[in-house]
Structure 1
Amino acid sequence: MKDSIRYMIERRSAGVPCGIASFCTANELVIEAVLEQAKKNGDVALIEATANQVNQFGGYTGMKPIDFKRFVYQIADKIYFPKENIILGGDHLGPLIWTGENEGVAMEKSKELVRQFVKAGYKKIHLDTSMRLASDSIDEKLSDEVIARRGAELYKVCEEAYQELLKENPSEARPVYIIGSEVPIPGGAQEEEESITVTKPQDVENTLEVYRKEFEKAGIDKAFENVIGIVVQPGVEFGDAEIFHYDRYNAKELCDSVKKYEGIVLEGHSTDYQSPQNLRMMVEDGIAILKVGPALTFALREGLFALSRIEEELITREKRANFIDVLEDVMVSNPENWKKHYHGSEKELQIKRKYSFSDRCRYYFAQPEIIKSMEKLFDNLDSVEIPLSLLQQYMPLQYIKVRDKKLNMKARELAKDNIKMLIEDYNYAVRPGHIIGGIFV
């Protein structure tokens, strides 16, 4: 297992403006695209699962940490990607999904959660104890001291699990840890906002100081040797139809504040839909870990919809997969994953289910009906010859690659390529000197 994150920190300390992209997804096609692009570039791939996706009870994917690891490794085996170049991460690890429980119960479940992640070999651990529990006062803000104390408790369990791993494999790399909670819940903002407040420098300093004190109280004062990042809000976010773009001037004080801490970088969540230029500026400014999630499945959905339009032109009505209609029917029949997030008239809800930047349709991609429809779509289009002019109409960027014989005209590859173009935005940001095929997308 390459210790690539620590190496990235060392390079930054030497003045190299590098970073690492964190791909937060449990979608098979997206993971396949991530690994294929990493293989092409001879790079590592950091893939993260959130606590609501993957946990000891299965999460909404039905996978425990060890199951998700096996799932990713099976995809890697299929494309001959070296497993030692995969870094697995756990995001929002803490009592995120047990906020209705009292502290004692919620923290015991959280401890088992982080233990399973570390024991399964995950190397990037975001300790997030920022949420109020049932036993916390509803009239007072959860204090930094309480957040840090709970984080220290989870850190101790992680390190105990790591020591168990060492007994099995003495060369096992130690996990790195991310602290801080200046982020929305997983998946982006739920309500429309007029502006985004950038994390204040004093809040960064206070978080780091309070964690240091709580680590010392817990007898783990050397823990900060393994804490390499703090989550902040650098002013980037997205909602249904709006994107808050990075402004390096507004984030300057925040980015400058962390430079005094050797070996600590900033982690930016919800960097989805930022331009490649903005992403690179973020890395240059010190936001060295760029997390992306919904934009990945948004790109997949976009590709699948384009292929569906091509299918309408080439395949007789009775044989079509009708992927767009199938997705809509499944989402309407099972509204639990979008109903609390999307608001408006029936027409507005219909548009949001399909096209919202929040991309709640990603929760449905593992449904049997969706998988069956997607595979039928691929089979239908692979059974006919797609005219280049039709590909140009609906997938103009993929058309260029097919025209220049850089992309195979197979439906699955066309869909994945739409994801890879987004991945290249992140490669441009985190890999100094990387060029995105001569064009920005």
Structure 2
Amino acid sequence: MENILKQMMKGNNNDCGIASYCTANALVIEALLLYAKKNQTPVLIEATANQVNQYGGYTGMTPQDFTDFVYRIGDQMGCSRNLIILGGDHLGPLTFKDLSEDEAMEKAKVLVRAYVKAGFTKIHLDTSMKLASDNKDKELPTITIAKRGAQLYQACMEAFGEMEEKHTQRPVFIIGSEVPIPGGATEVEEGISVTKAADFIDTVETYKSVFQEHGLADGWENIIAVVVQPGVEFGDSQVFLYNREEATSLCNSLKDYPTLVFEGHSTDYQTKEKLKEMVEDGILILKVGPALTFRLREALFSLSMIEKELVPEQKQAKFIETLDEVMVEDPKNWIDHYHGTQEEIALARKYSYSDRCRYYLSNPRLQETIHTLFENLDSISIPLNLLHQYMPSQYDKVIRGELLNCAKELVYDAILEVVSDYEYAVKG
């Protein structure tokens, strides 16, 4: 069965794209699938190799677990599974880079096979990182990246061939040797360099040559996109907006490869107009991750401020305080990312664009806190004037009768404000 993404993309002569929502947060996924159900439009949900792998990743989920997790939410939301596209991001030796090539690549093959077997149909093959046996003093050659990518492609297609359900969509693949750091850069105090057209061409031609050498020439039709850096990024408090003039040379070079499109990572926090420009310039797959949970966190903070005004202190959920306590007790997911004075670090834990607090939202203590927050606010009627103070966008919809004035619905709507920017950009 032909892949739905392949049908949608139709190469770079297309004028519409797709947003790729990289998240494992249940509330975010619920909002996404409600949107898909309401609009009867496919939604692409991605998991990264460090989130989800054969050892559980930081979510504790294998690829099959993640598939079951998303489908279970979809079933609860009444969203057809036909509207759900699952993608795997940064699949390769990323989490095994401290091992030698032989060891790392064997584990990477197990990883990609598990993703394909679990029904993921968009596979980003990322072999751009150096492994323990690579020369630390030299840049990793494109030929090495491509050969490792070809090995993983073969492993994927072998796994697909073994699947019992032959009606399953054939996976499509994204390649690229210039891949942004998953989840945003740790520091971006200087300008972001756009991928050189020559480097993009070198990547494509090298991969095509390697596929030919490995007897995979026919498989090239399953490659639909190349990851590039179009000049967008974010840090703790910085956003580098897309500048189409600086990306002109890169985007023009795409015209020589009509079956390919660009995939842009770290597009979080771009304006909807900039996102639209990216799509118009051939960056048809827009990856977004932290911005989704950043908006979720903002909504939960707003509800917490409303709670402080309405609920006796002894009954308050105190989500803001509890989140920081949990992060301080277990700093491994933010300690290497936030820098400065103690005050600056404390501020970053709450408000950084890199949104490291997303790693903690599934913590049982925080899940209970969120549940209590919702219960507290749903047991009373949030006064419209308080809603106007802390959630003005949601207030406008509530007073017009377009949105229920209940905690979870308010949170869903806040998340979907991010989604609406991407959907605006990718629709032709």
Q: If the TM-score is normalised by the length of the shorter chain, which range does it land in?
A: over 0.9
The SS at the match of 2:263 is strand
Q: Is 2:8 the counterpart of 1:8?
A: yes
Find the counterpart in structure 2 of residue 438 from structure 1: none
Deviation at 1:252, TM superposition (A): 1.1
Deviation at 1:110, TM superposition (A): 0.0
Quote the Cα distance in structure 2 between the aligned partners of 1:409 and 1:134. Answer: 54
Which amino acid is the alignment partner of residue 146 of structure 1? T
Aligned 8 A contact 1:11 1:18 in 2: no
Find the counterpart in structure 2 of residue 126 from structure 1: 124
Quote the Cα distance in structure 1 between the aligned partners of 2:187 and 2:179. Answer: 14
Find the counterpart in structure 2 of residue 287 from structure 1: 283
Which amino acid is the alignment partner of residue 105 of structure 2? M
Find the counterpart in structure 2 of residue 173 from structure 1: 169
Find the counterpart in structure 2 of residue 377 from structure 1: 373
Aligned 8 A contact 1:66 1:116 in 2: yes
Find the counterpart in structure 2 of residue 226 from structure 1: 222
Deviation at 1:2, TM superposition (A): 7.7
Which amino acid is the alignment partner of residue 427 of structure 2? R
Deviation at 1:215, TM superposition (A): 1.0
2:24 to 17, 26, 35: 26
2:75 to 52, 70, 77: 77
The SS at the match of 2:266 is coil
> Any idea what the Cα deviations from partners look like across 1:129-151, whole Å, max 9, x if unmatched?
00000000111111001000000
Identity of aligned residues (%): 56
Quote the Cα distance in structure 2 between the aligned partners of 1:407 and 1:322. Answer: 25
- Write out aligned runs for 1:133-212 (5 A): 133-165=131-163, 168-212=164-208
Aligned 8 A contact 1:54 1:60 in 2: yes
2:245 to 246, 249, 254: 249
Gaps of 5+ in 2: none
Quote the Cα distance in structure 2 between the aligned partners of 1:176 and 1:390. Answer: 48
> Any idea what the Cα deviations from partners look like across 1:70-125, whole Å, max 9, x if unmatched?
00001000110000111000000000011110001000000000000001110000
Aligned 8 A contact 1:89 1:125 in 2: yes
Which amino acid is the alignment partner of residue 4 of structure 1? I
> Any idea what the Cα deviations from partners look like across 1:195-236, whole Å, max 9, x if unmatched?
000000000100001101111121111221100000000000
1:308 to 304, 318, 332: 304
Quote the Cα distance in structure 2 between the aligned partners of 1:187 and 1:110. Answer: 20
Find the counterpart in structure 2 of residue 49 from structure 1: 47
Aligned 8 A contact 2:30 2:73 in 1: yes
Find the counterpart in structure 1 of residue 37 from structure 2: 39
> Any idea what the Cα deviations from partners look like across 1:26-50, whole Å, max 9, x if unmatched?
0000001111112222100100000
Number of residue pairs aligned between Structure 1 and Structure 2: 428
Aligned 8 A contact 1:19 1:288 in 2: yes
TM-score by length of 1: 0.96
The SS at the match of 1:288 is strand
Quote the Cα distance in structure 2 between the aligned partners of 1:327 and 1:215. Answer: 48
Deviation at 1:10, TM superposition (A): 2.2
Aligned 8 A contact 1:38 1:45 in 2: yes
2:60 to 59, 62, 71: 62
Which amino acid is the alignment partner of residue 168 of structure 2? E
Quote the Cα distance in structure 2 between the aligned partners of 1:383 and 1:395. Answer: 19
Quote the Cα distance in structure 2 between the aligned partners of 1:248 and 1:192. Answer: 19
Aligned 8 A contact 1:2 1:84 in 2: no
Aligned 8 A contact 1:12 1:18 in 2: no
Deviation at 1:170, TM superposition (A): 2.5
Query: For the aligned residues, what is the CA RMSD?
Result: 1.0
Find the counterpart in structure 2 of residue 365 from structure 1: 361
Aligned 8 A contact 2:11 2:260 in 1: no
Quote the Cα distance in structure 2 between the aligned partners of 1:359 and 1:146. Answer: 33
Quote the Cα distance in structure 2 between the aligned partners of 1:10 and 1:364. Answer: 39
Gaps of 5+ in 1: 433-441
Deviation at 1:284, TM superposition (A): 0.6
